[in-house]
Amino acid sequence: QVQLVESGGGLVQPGGSLRLSCAASGGIFSVNDMRWHRQPPGKQRELVASITRGGLANYGDSVKGRFTISRDNAKNTVYLQMNSLKPEDSAVYYCNADVRTSTGAFRNYWGQGTQVTVSS
């Protein structure tokens, strides 16, 4: 069993910063690509950022230059540093990871989501 557990969401003022964390645990052989998605209320889920095991990162246009994705492979953890936050960044943020399990399967897992609210 593999679980992704997120933390770091909350309420922040426009222009502020938050740092999200997501740790994978369980029957893991290796964690490959990791991603952050977000879903504002009433809208479709959107890819925010992705990062390979080797650290190659990509970002959605709406967050490029403001957000930074990083990871610690020793901890099976991915981070999302969010700066210069805007009200339109408000959403439930979900962690996602491609995992090779200890049984040899290659599977995709989702975290439970964490709420980010940007408001004065």
* Residue 80: predicted pLDDT: 98
Q: Which of 111, 71, 119, 73 is nearest to 92 (CA)?
A: 111
- Residue 65 burial class via C-beta count within 10 angstroms: exposed 0-12, middle 13-18, buried 19 and up: exposed
Interatomic CA distance for residues 99 and 109, integer angstroms: 7
* pLDDT single digits (tens) 34-87: 999 999 999 999 999 999 999 999 999 999 999 999 999 999 999 999 999 999
Q: Check: CB of residue 86 under 8 Å from CB of residue 17.
A: no
The answer to whether 84 touches 67, Cβ cutoff 8 Å, is no
